Structure 1
């Protein structure tokens, strides 16, 4: 405890000094003379930062003459930051003034700063850059310009809103100053920024005050020191990452690698067993994007499949936000490596992003944040989509967007945060539009629920949030306007995708375990999902029960109310247009019916709305775990954390199974096709590639995209209304090949069929017809032989019929 003499100190003045024997004595005399004229006790602390001249002697003499002056010495020169930490730590005043030894800002300006603290601010900064400041003696013009530019750079990077980040004249609340300087780590000039950042993080208001200022000859701060400040701040940022953060990120990476270990173990032949034809499709997306970039072609369109009509890539999901920057990887190592890298790295990045958001804004315990982030990223619906849909797995931008929207609600930097939000949103559009739409629905649900729980907060946040969203829209629109125009109005655009009226979840699916969960099985999960890439719920009854218990226990918190209501609303919407009561014939309309046929929403598989529950449940778990680890009663901690483990253990994902993919026929792999296909002609696989069998896309992606194919696996238009379907618009001959491939029966082939085949082959600009080894290839051979009226020949492990210009 302080004694009464120390407690009476109202103001502590801290002066860091290094080799200041020429200027220190007049500075001390000026400070003492000014403070003697003011009521209240004061102290003046001079910190000698290992000076090699007479600085310490001058300060010692002043201390001997006046007991209110003290000398604190550093054994070596460590920098301004170290000196200020020593001085502030030694202070006892209710307020602390830090000022440079040159008194470039006169001590008389203290009165202006004092008024700001008396009106409720916790700190006041004497700003040379304030419009009302008076600069009595300027620096040389170049030096002043460089200093101003350096200051603006630091402001933009580190302390937006403060005009003069390197101010040497600051008045601070004493206790808050000692807390901030005790937390500081920088030894150099960057301490000024570090302290301002600390005050801002704590929500302590800082005033920027106009002052008189005069450049002093011999100033130790030069233009290059602003770059040193940025370097110090960068090092500080690096040191701020705790070891536990690195460990958590490493564990997320390890978990992702273990999930995809079977794929990484055999990149040459491994194929995710439950991905249906999507691995072929996604590798093709990566390959065609790389080819477009390498040849400077339009990245929004290609005729490599569905030849000659082509594919509107913006109307599909090539994830241009990753496939374009990963072009060097695709060209150097092949699209399978890119596929594995996007899945593994994207899952890791998503978990890290949720961890960053939860740890930053919601909980103090890092392991609680990791638990919540793990559930948000590795929840059963995400793992299901990890078989085949990286656009629903790679969601690392969503937490970043949420964080920026929350910043907008404070109203501090609406324009800057709005611009950043617009850039983030534009990038997310190039990662995945449907996931962004679902995330937006989730954010809207949360905002409405939170607004109902905290109307006062909603009223305060509404105006800056809406303004920021307007700025974000104006920022994003120029970046995405043309791609979106191409998507909805360009070649091969479509209006919606037909999924049927039964794409919602069964209510049982919300409580069961998925086939890829530790306690789940395909036998139980398969009847409740569209397929194994669309197990969109499957959170398991223990987790649902735990979430209910957490909600009841913490219901008084507005955040918990909003999270719980968001999860329930999303779960109900995911049930689709018709909600069936399990084990009965009772069906009643679902709320999704109101949106099902609206633009944009008509292309959504409504069962996917249950994915919104994952981050909501993850944050609830994080909040509960954070409270449990701090519970004062040991029994509560043990019982509570055991319940959390019991709820999460059953849904721990298991590694993805991998099967061996068919080899590319030598006819394709060895380039034998080239002698049969002229420029502008296509290779026609039999049957044509479609969503059920797309190996021909692997032929292309594995061999350099050198030839086009008709048909394919993509989203495109069908009929006069341009309704979206999966695959190419069917033709008679492609339907015939499909029926023979899956039925094994050769129909009677007459003149009409042969004429139709000639017509379709001409439409496809066929150069060669190819039957690879596959099921029912004998029946397919007979069919093609009858259609073309001649036998095929076997070349490179495939039956072929040259039909083009080179035949």
Structure 2
């Protein structure tokens, strides 16, 4: 319950009005995630394929399995989404993610390496580490991580363990594939270090569990094979998602995170891609403490293994660094390398637990506890910042749109949604997915080589609409506009705000607009 209380305190601004509040640091990601929850509920309840939809990026559609729809969570929470709204689903996902991850690591540590009080601190760090708080603004797939420590719980080799572990791997894949890859990489590094420190014991473990691990992998593969085939070979699939060089610097490892007691937003802004990608930021006091714990407890073999594992994974997350070798491998080319620093969190949590237990037997325990407190206090997270959300125009909530759109046709927001502004996706969800919309915020193929990209490859009219909305002049070509509206199967064009020159431009091209339910509407005449 303490972990749940901590999570609610951090998210109390969101919980005060889940459907009316927005996490300030999330950019457009909260819009996207709530749409994922909504579309999953819509597809399942209407007997449609939850791995694909033509309602977004119409008429091409979106491969939902190739996006982070988190079916392992979004499907069980369908009743919440339908009855209480996707904002509540969003808040629940983040809350149980933080608290559940902390508890799962506590449970593992208390079973394997430490006393309950020491494991409680280790679990607290694992669930509420700086990177976890950063991703809690926007990425529940990097927050709901309780399955990972469950995979590591002690179990005897054999068929039953293979089945349990195989089911857990398959379930984790439907929660988040990338975190599964990062965790697997961290375990490989741990195994290599273990083999170097104690080759005999590591070899004995490998011989004892080889068949069980292979069986678990086979079971997981059988369970997810169809979904993975759809993801990589189905409609609107793509072959990779290249982010460019996005590793950590040494400063990013030692700086304090933005949403912490000692955080400096100006410093973190220069060291990370954005507020949701502060994947290291352990703070220099904690780095010094970890080094000190490894030195002080170096006689313990596990401590040496954990220390070396942390150092190697941290090195892997750096740019420049050994990442250049992994980046050429399948799957790894789509990973943001700074995220590998998240795999340092569990070994650091374990070292903290081991350190607490070791201090209990020394006369200097108060000094040691003070050192641990001094290392952790600077990175204590502060509540996530929320803002009031702009309400959905009543045109979509009261059914006014039905007088303008035929079944199977689209409403074209002017301009269409994209990663910079995904709000029209919420309009569609509020209307019960009664119409399709073009483009959107998702990951899909881009260009002739079908490499992955955020958002659709924009039609010319969409690009020109955005230029006009930004006040850069209206140069929309009437013939191109007509062609794009036909391509989108548009029945209506809507504009929420009189942005730039866009409304006047569309009035000239489509005729005089009508203001209905908070939006200007241009019916598109079609036979």
Q: Work out the number of aligned pairs and report it.
A: 527
Equivalent residue number for residue 414 of structure 2: 686
Equivalent residue number for residue 460 of structure 2: 732
**2:161 aligned with 1:417:** yes
Equivalent residue number for residue 71 of structure 2: 320
Equivalent residue number for residue 307 of structure 2: 564
Task: Give the Cα separation in 2 of the matches to 1:597 and 1:782.
Answer: 49
Q: Give the secondary structure class of the aligned counterpart of 2:479.
A: helix
Equivalent residue number for residue 670 of structure 1: 398
Q: Deviations over 1:323-352 (max 9, x none)?
A: 111111111111111000111112111111
Equivalent residue number for residue 152 of structure 2: 402
Task: Give the Cα separation in 1 of the matches to 2:60 and 2:91.
Answer: 30
Task: Give the Cα separation in 1 of the matches to 2:119 and 2:260.
Answer: 22
TM-score (norm 1): 0.64
Task: Give the Cα separation in 1 of the matches to 2:509 and 2:265.
Answer: 42
**2:137 aligned with 1:387:** yes
Which residue, 307, 323, 329 being the options, matches 1:598? 329
Which stretches in structure 2 are left out of the alignment for 5+ residues? none
Aligned-residue offset at 1:778: 4.2
Is the deviation greater in 661-670 or in 490-499? 661-670
**2:388 aligned with 1:660:** yes
Equivalent residue number for residue 15 of structure 1: none
Equivalent residue number for residue 795 of structure 1: 516
Q: Deviations over 1:483-526 (max 9, x none)?
A: 0000000000001112122x111220100001101111211211
Equivalent residue number for residue 17 of structure 2: 266
Q: How does 1:429-508 map to 2 (within 5 A)?
A: 429-501=173-245, 503-508=246-251
Q: How does 1:333-352 map to 2 (within 5 A)?
A: 333-352=84-103
**TM-aligned CA distance change 1:448 to 1:639, over 3 Å:** same
Which residue, 482, 494, 508 being the options, matches 1:770? 494
**2:101 aligned with 1:370:** no
- Displaced runs of 4+ in structure 1, greater than 6 A? none
Task: Give the Cα separation in 1 of the matches to 2:433 and 2:298.
Answer: 57
Q: Deviations over 1:439-461 (max 9, x none)?
A: 11111111111111111211211
**2:474 aligned with 1:747:** yes
Task: Give the Cα separation in 2 of the matches to 1:804 and 1:712.
Answer: 24
Task: Give the Cα separation in 1 of the matches to 2:406 and 2:395.
Answer: 16
Task: Give the Cα separation in 2 of the matches to 1:267 and 1:702.
Answer: 15
Q: How does 1:574-723 map to 2 (within 5 A)?
A: 574-576=317-319, 579=320, 590-631=321-362, 633=363, 636-723=364-451
Which residue, 519, 523, 527 being the options, matches 2:270? 527
Q: Give the secondary structure class of the aligned counterpart of 2:277.
A: coil
Higher RCO (CA < 8 A, seq sep 6+): 2
Task: Give the Cα separation in 1 of the matches to 2:262 and 2:149.
Answer: 29
Aligned-residue offset at 1:697: 1.2
**2:260 aligned with 1:517:** yes
**2:84 aligned with 1:358:** no
Contact 1:384 1:533 survives alignment (8 Å): yes
Contact 2:19 2:85 survives alignment (8 Å): no
Contact 1:380 1:514 survives alignment (8 Å): yes
Aligned-residue offset at 1:700: 2.1
**2:7 aligned with 1:285:** no
Aligned-residue offset at 1:746: 1.5
Task: Give the Cα separation in 1 of the matches to 2:6 and 2:431.
Answer: 32
Contact 1:287 1:705 survives alignment (8 Å): no
Task: Give the Cα separation in 2 of the matches to 1:621 and 1:747.
Answer: 60
Task: Give the Cα separation in 2 of the matches to 1:372 and 1:804.
Answer: 63
Q: Deviations over 1:302-325 (max 9, x none)?
A: 112111111111100111001111
Task: Give the Cα separation in 2 of the matches to 1:347 and 1:804.
Answer: 51
Which residue, 52, 55, 59 being the options, matches 1:301? 52
Aligned-residue offset at 1:804: 4.6
Is the deviation greater in 466-475 or in 484-493? 466-475
Contact 2:407 2:434 survives alignment (8 Å): no
Aligned-residue offset at 1:660: 1.1
**2:508 aligned with 1:786:** yes
Look at both structures and tell me which one has the larger radius of gyration over its CA atoms.
1
Q: Give the secondary structure class of the aligned counterpart of 1:280.
A: helix
Equivalent residue number for residue 540 of structure 1: 283
Contact 2:19 2:88 survives alignment (8 Å): no
Aligned-residue offset at 1:702: 2.9
Task: Give the Cα separation in 2 of the matches to 1:702 and 1:395.
Answer: 30
Aligned-residue offset at 1:765: 0.6
Contact 2:19 2:86 survives alignment (8 Å): no
Aligned-residue offset at 1:687: 1.1
**TM-aligned CA distance change 1:499 to 1:724, over 3 Å:** same
Contact 1:682 1:707 survives alignment (8 Å): yes
Q: How does 1:31-50 map to 2 (within 5 A)?
A: none
Q: Give the secondary structure class of the aligned counterpart of 2:501.
A: helix
Q: Give the secondary structure class of the aligned counterpart of 1:777.
A: coil
What's the C-alpha RMSD, in Å, of the aligned pairs? 1.3
Task: Give the Cα separation in 1 of the matches to 2:282 and 2:468.
Answer: 41
Task: Give the Cα separation in 2 of the matches to 1:509 and 1:786.
Answer: 52
Task: Give the Cα separation in 2 of the matches to 1:618 and 1:555.
Answer: 17
Task: Give the Cα separation in 2 of the matches to 1:698 and 1:370.
Answer: 39
Contact 2:461 2:480 survives alignment (8 Å): yes
Task: Give the Cα separation in 2 of the matches to 1:759 and 1:302.
Answer: 23
Aligned-residue offset at 1:414: 2.1
Aligned-residue offset at 1:703: 3.3
Task: Give the Cα separation in 2 of the matches to 1:541 and 1:756.
Answer: 56
Q: Give the secondary structure class of the aligned counterpart of 2:472.
A: coil
**TM-aligned CA distance change 1:804 to 1:463, over 3 Å:** farther
Q: Give the secondary structure class of the aligned counterpart of 1:519.
A: coil
Q: Give the secondary structure class of the aligned counterpart of 1:372.
A: helix
